[in-house]
């Protein structure tokens, strides 16, 4: 089965895809993309001011212990502001499977007040090849526990960061 480069989450408003979708001027034009959230470090042409596309980069690696949680409020705010203004958003990572899916699930959690399990189910129904790593799944649960505002003052976030630091220290 061939995977698509982009799938619809909210018709005409929110799309989830991979780096190829973000780099394809045809794909961006056909969907009238006005905003892009890049959850990776790879450059895309839409980052250039002359593209006319508003861009947010979230520099998170595709590893279980990467802290995507701290970026979720900013990403959700960016998406929400774009959608409310009538914009169309593409959220992508390199493969369009895990990091970008986590951001989209977080957005659904915030805006629809649904739990992590329901948000992940809705994202999977829209893009069947997504895969939420154990680490990103846990961070979506923590996102809800932190009331969508993870910070150094949230004990759930602090505890998770301490566990990750201890785990990484044990690997060295």
What separation in angstroms does the CA of 138 have from each of 40, 47, 72, 111, 159?
20, 30, 13, 19, 12
Q: Which residues are catalytic?
A: 93
The CA-CA-CA angle for residues 128, 111, 92, to 5°, reads 45
Strand order across the beta sheet in which 54-57 lies? 6-10, 14-17, 89-92, 35-38, 54-57
Cβ proximity of 116 and 144 under 8 Å: yes
Other beta carbons within 10 Å of 96: 28
């Amino acid at each position: 089965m061939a995977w698509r480069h982009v799938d619809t989450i909210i018709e005409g408003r929110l799309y989830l895809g991979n780096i190829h979708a973000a780099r394809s001027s045809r794909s961006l034009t056909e969907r009238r993309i006005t905003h892009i959230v890049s959850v990776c470090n790879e450059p895309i042409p839409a980052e250039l001011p002359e593209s006319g596309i508003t861009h947010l980069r979230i520099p998170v690696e595709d590893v279980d212990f990467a802290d995507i949680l701290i970026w979720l409020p900013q990403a959700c705010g960016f998406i929400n502001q774009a959608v409310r203004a009538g914009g169309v958003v593409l959220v992508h990572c390199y493969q369009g499977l895990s990091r970008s899916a986590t951001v989209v699930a977080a957005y659904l959690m915030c805006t629809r007040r649904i739990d992590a399990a329901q948000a992940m189910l809705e994202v999977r129904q829209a893009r069947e090849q997504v895969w939420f790593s154990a680490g990103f799944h846990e961070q979506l649960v923590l996102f809800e526990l932190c009331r969508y505002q993870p910070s150094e003052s949230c004990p759930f976030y602090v505890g998770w960061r301490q566990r990750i630091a201890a785990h990484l220290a044990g690997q060295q």
